[in-house]
Amino acid sequence: MTGRSRTMRAPFYPPAAMLEARLLRLDDQTHEHAHDHHQLVLSLAGRAEFEVNGRGGEVCRMRAVLVPGDAEHQFAGVGDNRMLIIDLDEQDSSADDLELLARLFDMPRYPALDADFQNLLSYAGAELARYGSDTQLARSLSGVLLRALHVRLFGERQPRTVGPLNVERLDAYIDQHLARRISVAELAHVACLSPSHFHVQFKDSLGLTPHQYLLKIRLDRASRLLRESTLPLIRIAEECGFSSQSALTTAMRRYLGLTPKRLRAVQ
DSSP 25-79: ---SS-EEE--SSEEEEEEEEEEEEEEETTEEEEEBTTB-EEE-TT--EEEEEEE
* 178-202 per-position pLDDT tens digit: 999 999 999 988 888 888 888 888 8
Report CA-CA distances (Å) from 84 to 64, 118, 166: 10, 12, 35
Q: For residue 188, which of 173, 176, 177, 175 has the smallest C-alpha distance?
A: 173
The region, left, alpha or beta by phi > 0 then psi within -120 to 50, assigned to residue 163 is left
Q: Note whether residue 4 is domain-resident.
A: no
Tell me the sheet residues that pair with 56: 51
Containing domain of residue 70, as a range? Answer: 16-154
Q: Note whether residue 5 is domain-resident.
A: no
Is residue 54 domain-shared with residue 131, that is, in the same domain? yes
Domain C-terminal end among 114, 132, 154: 154
Is residue 103 domain-shared with residue 214, that is, in the same domain? no
Name the H helices within 48-159.
95-104, 115-131, 135-154
Number of domains in the chain: 2
Domain C-terminal end among 106, 131, 154: 154
Is residue 33 domain-shared with residue 77, that is, in the same domain? yes
Is residue 175 domain-shared with residue 259, that is, in the same domain? yes
Tell me the sheet residues that pair with 79: none
Is residue 136 domain-shared with residue 35, that is, in the same domain? yes
Q: Are 80 and 25 in contact (CB under 8 A)?
A: yes
Tell me the sheet residues that pair with 71: none
Q: Note whether residue 1 is domain-resident.
A: no
Measure CA 65 to chain center. 8
Is residue 29 domain-shared with residue 98, that is, in the same domain? yes
Give the three-state DSSP class for 215: helix
Which carries the bigger pLDDT value, residue 155 or residue 239?
239
Domain C-terminal end among 108, 131, 154: 154
- Cα(200)–Cα(214) distance, integer angstroms: 16
Is residue 55 domain-shared with residue 149, that is, in the same domain? yes
Q: Note whether residue 33 is domain-resident.
A: yes
Is residue 122 domain-shared with residue 56, that is, in the same domain? yes
Task: Give pLDDT, residue 260.
Answer: 87
Residue 159 has pLDDT above 70, yes or no: no
Is residue 62 domain-shared with residue 166, that is, in the same domain? no
Positive or negative torsion for Cα 93, 94, 99, 101: negative
Residues 6+ apart with CB under 8 A from 90: 18, 38, 69, 98, 101
CATH number of the domain that residue 251 is part of:
1.10.10.60
* 49-91 per-position pLDDT tens digit: 999 988 888 898 888 999 998 888 899 998 889 999 998 876 6
Residue 16 has pLDDT above 60, yes or no: no
